[in-house]
Amino acid sequence: MTAFKLLKKLERAHKVCESCGAEYGERNPELYLLNNGTCDVCKDDTLVSNTSNWGYLRKGRLEVFSYVTEKTGLNVQRHHL
């Protein structure tokens, strides 16, 4: 998967498994409820939670965004991240 596709996946994700949440976000211990479902990032059928429980995957979105802008040379504003 390209970095740009990963960025779009992270931006559009609503449900995330613990593995993807830990990789791309920072868990909020006060907001943590798991349900059966499909992770919007890795597509595994497992226990998932809302991306809000993982800071909306902001950490991963910023890392991938920085990588994409560095490699492409695009000067894009980050206000939506």
Torsion of Cα atoms, 76 then 16 then 18 then 37, to 10°: -170
* pLDDT classification of 4: cutoffs 50, 70, 90: confident
Rounded to the nearest integer, the mean pLDDT of the chain is 88
Query: Sheet harboring 35-38: ordered strands across?
Result: 15-17, 45-50, 35-38
Q: Whole-prediction pTM value?
A: 0.83
Tens digit of each residue's pLDDT (9 = 90 or more) over 37-62: 999 999 999 999 999 999 999 999 99
How much is the pLDDT for 38? 98
77 pLDDT higher than 80 = no
More confident residue, 29 or 43: 43
What pLDDT shows up at residue 70?
Answer: 82
